[in-house]
Amino acid sequence: MPVHPSSAKSAFDADIRDRHLIYDYDAQDSEGRPEKWRYEMWFQNEDRINYAIHGGPMAGRINYQAADYQCIRPGELWQCNWLEETGTICSLVFDIPRQKITTLIAFSKGHWEKAEEAHGDKRNQADLERWRGLAKMGIQTDRVMLSEQADILEDFRGPGQLKPIENSAPVL
């Protein structure tokens, strides 16, 4: 996937390439009680994101995807978008100076209603096939929109505990 605009390639290398973030959303459970949703995102390269979810209803999910990056302001704001096998559409904005993540996620009906089934590791064929089944539940308008803001706890370069994937690894 490309970096947009194409003139932002050098900014991508400086701002995003190989950057690894660990961040928490201050979310609420279905009863309105506060809970931490911890996410880990590695912007592996201009073609892939690699992530794990450690807290919240999607905890236990490990995935990688083809990513599309948009430079909003070099050195300040980047947007990263991807599509999940579950049918979920994800959009993340990284505010570098404020160390904030803002996401807008359009969960597929299956992914939202059967969160436990969305757990697992994409490298495991049974998990991947189960996720693809979640995408078949409902129709395009049966989506749950979720917009959240997270605080970045760690910001470093490299894979950390995430396993690198080859650009040839299958993605949507």
pLDDT of residue 69: 96
Report residue 114 as tokens.
């059967």
pTM of the model: 0.92
H/E element, 127: helix 125-134
Residue 168 burial by Cβ neighbours in a 10 Å radius (0-12, 13-18, 19+):
exposed
> What confidence score (pLDDT) does residue 63 get?
96
Closest CA to 63 of 6, 111, 4, 13: 111
The per-residue pLDDT for 55 is: 93
Q: What is the pLDDT of residue 94?
A: 97
Q: Cis peptide leading into 34, omega within 30 of 0?
A: no
pLDDT < 50 positions in the chain:
none
- CATH entry, 6-154, from 3.40.1550.10, 3.40.50.2300, 2.40.128.20, 3.40.50.920: 2.40.128.20
Q: Taking the domains of the chain in order of start, what are their residue ranges?
A: 6-154
CA 89 to the chain's CA centroid: 9
Q: What is the pLDDT of residue 26?
A: 85
pLDDT at 77: 97
- Residue 8: its pLDDT value, please? 84
Among 103, 100, 74, which Cα is nearest to 3's?
Answer: 74
Say what the pLDDT of residue 1 is: 57
